[in-house]
Amino acid sequence: MSVQRGNGRSQSFPFTTRIAHLPEGPVAYFDEGKGDPLIFVHGLVGDFTHFEHVAPAFAAGHRVAGLDLPGCGISSKPPTRHSIESYAKHLLGWMDHIDAQRATLVGHSAGGLVSAKAAMLAPGRIDKLVLLSSAGLRRYSRPLQWLARAVIRPELLRVSLERLAMPMLDQVFVERNEYTAKFIADSLDRPVHPTLMEMAKVFHDLTPDLVGCEVLDSARRLPMPVLVLWGDRDRLIHEDGIAELASGLPRATFRALSRCGHMPMIERPAEVIEALRSFLTQDQQRTRKPDPGRSSTEPADQMAA
């Protein structure tokens, strides 16, 4: 399948884009290499090309794959309402389609919450779980949760996104480099309409789940080894949530990347690759908890067990 320019996704992604015809509609994905499957799940209104600087590093020893979730990227845009659970079930169904009965999941942001939910629904199918700047790790007030469920509407979100797109992009990264500059250019290389309305629908559908805290509340339902990886300047991840998660996960490793924002796989791909390689090759996982006395500006790459 050829991918046209102007759709906001990276044109330099190195793997072939394939199409799976699932009951929910056509789904775009990539699937390359041989070995234990390593599946990448993108964040809110993203697409699988967000992992272009990370996934290829593992193709020599793993089967690497990823998909555009429904409503995102170039997958189908069904009118039905999305939820984190429906996305998780869709992910598992797509894994059936590509005959990946077991896999390690690497989920970014909302994709981290989707991956965690899939691991809760089918723990026997997930070998390891990587939560990369994951949603679901922060507790929001009840009034804010009510506001997210009752007030926010797609049209209001569309107008907000149109006005705030660039300011939001400026908040994603801490350091400017060739990777972040390319990502911003790719993001702006898309038509305003219908893109904004499609994005607004996904935002609207998922917001009630995203302001919840299912990963924190259900951490003990994740028996597999878990890597929690985030940038220490990520404005969406709160240290209290990390500390709470550490107390609930039975087999977890925590690592913060210093001077990094919400998209480490774009801003600091080499460090993400190194962290993933270390995690994937560990034979025995030890529970490692972040030091509650550590300053948020200090690198947390080496945390005491």
The single-letter code of the amino acid at 10 is S
**pTM across the whole model:** 0.86
Q: Which regions in the chain score pLDDT beneath 70? A: 1-7, 144-168, 190-195, 283-305
Amino acid 1: pLDDT: 46
Tell me the pLDDT tens digit for each residue of 185-215.
Answer: 888 776 555 567 778 888 888 888 988 888 9
Amino acid 162: pLDDT: 54
Q: Which CATH architecture has domain 18-281?
A: 3-Layer(aba) Sandwich (3.40)
Amino acid 207: pLDDT: 86
> 82: which DSSP letter?
P
Amino acid 302: pLDDT: 31
CA angle 122, 245, 305 (to 5 degrees): 110
Tell me the pLDDT tens digit for each residue of 164-177.
Answer: 555 567 779 999 99
CA dist., res. 275 & res. 255, Å (int): 8
- Phi-psi group of 53: left, alpha or beta (phi > 0 → left; psi -120 to 50 → alpha; rest → beta): alpha
Domain ranges of the chain: 18-281
